[in-house]
Structure 1
């Protein structure tokens, strides 16, 4: 079971992390938000700048930058060369007088759940009510965020808000659209945090051929370089980082003697 879990984690480590700034999935028409793609780059056989691919639904967007500004509703994803596609972010655009904004990121048990009821282009909302599955849960005299300090699975459901605005006189009560919120179990939080940390680590690139350090004793290991198995050569200098270091970068402080012909182990 643990082996399967480890394989599943490793299989998803290369997936880029797509984030939204500000972190609300619903905006008013005409507003813009910024999407950012933080990618983990797998082994590359050549040194070239890493470009980012952006998708709106199944449409490939023209930008190759790490972050883009958008205002069109839909499902956004990103991808870096050689890596899987990121998880999606659903962006909604509203023409209503009132919208309920919830965070795009997953909320886990024990974490705060924050949402806000927002009037058209930040007009003050009066007599503000928040609802959970149709039941009122909080009242404010005027605009304020609703916060659940330590969310539980029972806090999942459909949320809505209502209130009045002075346009210019006070209006009748208006209601936002309902928004689904899911609070995930705490046992999944550690795995998700691990993936987010691993995805931001420096890429390992094969700009120069690199092999594992020679093992002590007679039994030296076998290294796979460009699809060819060879007995590793002893480096002339010691690597700057320990062999077990997570941030070891090939070609930095290690020089190799040319290997035997026929395997492409030496310099180009």
Structure 2
């Protein structure tokens, strides 16, 4: 007999295979930073499928529908701390997007990043950003309290291929006028690499369905053989009983 997956495991496998939804809307940020300062301008764009001649978009902030915003792009001019939070969008043909977490800080400097969690080999961009883009120079980027990169004039700190050695707490500091300013700390972490599917989605679903069919056939054969074995045992017992009676006579 084959040892196949039970139906519950097959359902979980099929669920995991079909979980990815390529039609889901996506929120894009411009500029592409998830950490900004008050009075910055931020544009969120909903990337999704739209019906012909209908680009109505529903925007959500911390799960609440933003009334009056129906365009594919949502501009937040002169952003405030209360604009911090999770943003999502939805179109008539695209399911609700995953949330994008936006942090708004009231400070002189902020260390900007496109996200907090990276995978090995990804590119990391860090930017030391000043309030109202005031001139910033003699900029130092630090990891876990140790200087990693210095620029006489402000520039991005770029890590082309990240490794787990780049995990840690980052911040930047520099001069605005004659004042030495430092940003808050950003924690950069890593997660395991995502595993690309070996086969197209339809092949994986067909495989799961075939496994389910084989399991059903296997189960039917098991009970069929079990029934025949029981019948054989009953016939054997009846034969032995009759033979014993014949011997006694």
Shift of 1:50: 5.6
Q: Distance in 2 between matches of 1:163 and 1:82?
A: 47
Judging changes above 3 Å, is the alpha-carbon distance between structure 1 residues 24 and 54 closer, same or farther for their aligned structure 2 residues? same
1:5 Cα deviation after fit: 6.0
TM-score of the superposed pair, with normalisation by structure 2: 0.63
1:11 corresponds to which of 19, 22, 46? 19
Contact map agreement 1:127 1:139 (CA 8 A) in 2? yes
Counterpart CA distance in 2 for 1:48 and 1:119 is 41
Q: Which residue of structure 2 lines up, in the alignment, with residue 85 of structure 1?
A: 96
**Deviating more after overlay: 50-59 vs 146-155:** 50-59
Q: How far off is 1:154 after superposition?
A: 3.0
Aligned to 2:186: 179
2:26 paired with 1:25? no
Maintained 8 Å contact 2:34/2:113: yes
Q: Could you say which residue in structure 2 is the equivalent of 1:248?
A: none
Distance in 2 (CA, whole Å) between partners of 1:82 and 1:20 is: 21
CA displacement at 1:103 relative to structure 2: 0.9
1:65 aligns with 2:71: yes
Q: Deviations over 1:152-200 (max 9, x none)?
A: 133233211111111xxx11x2110112223343335x57xx9xxxxxx
Q: Confirm whether residue 157 of structure 1 aligns to residue 164 of structure 2.
A: no
Provide TM-score, normalisation by structure 1. Answer: 0.59
Name the residue aligned to 2:241.
none
Give distance in 2, aligned partners of 1:66 and 1:136: 41
Q: CA deviation at 1:65?
A: 1.8
Aligned length: 184
Based on CA coordinates, which of the two structures has the bigger radius of gyration?
A: 2
Q: 1:105 to 1:7 in 2, by over 3 A?
A: farther
Pairwise CA RMSD: 3.1
Structure 2: runs of 5 or more not aligned: 1-8, 201-249
Q: Deviations over 1:23-75 (max 9, x none)?
A: 0112221222111112257xx9xx89463221111221021222211232221
Does the alignment pair 1:51 with 2:56?
yes
The answer for the alignment partner of 1:34 in structure 2 is 43
Whole-Å separation in 1 of the counterparts to 2:37 and 2:46 = 23
Secondary structure of 1:187's partner? coil
Larger helix share, 1 or 2: 2
SS in 2 for 1:85: coil
Aligned equivalents of 2:10, 2:28: Cα separation in 1: 30
Distance 1:142 1:50, change over 3 A: closer
Following TM superposition, by how much is the alpha carbon of 1:150 offset from its aligned partner in structure 2, in angstroms?
0.7
Q: Which runs of 5+ in 1 are unaligned?
A: 195-268
SS of 2:161's equivalent in the other structure is coil
Counterpart secondary structure, 2:18: helix
Judge conservation of contact 2:139–2:173 (CA < 8 Å) in 1: yes
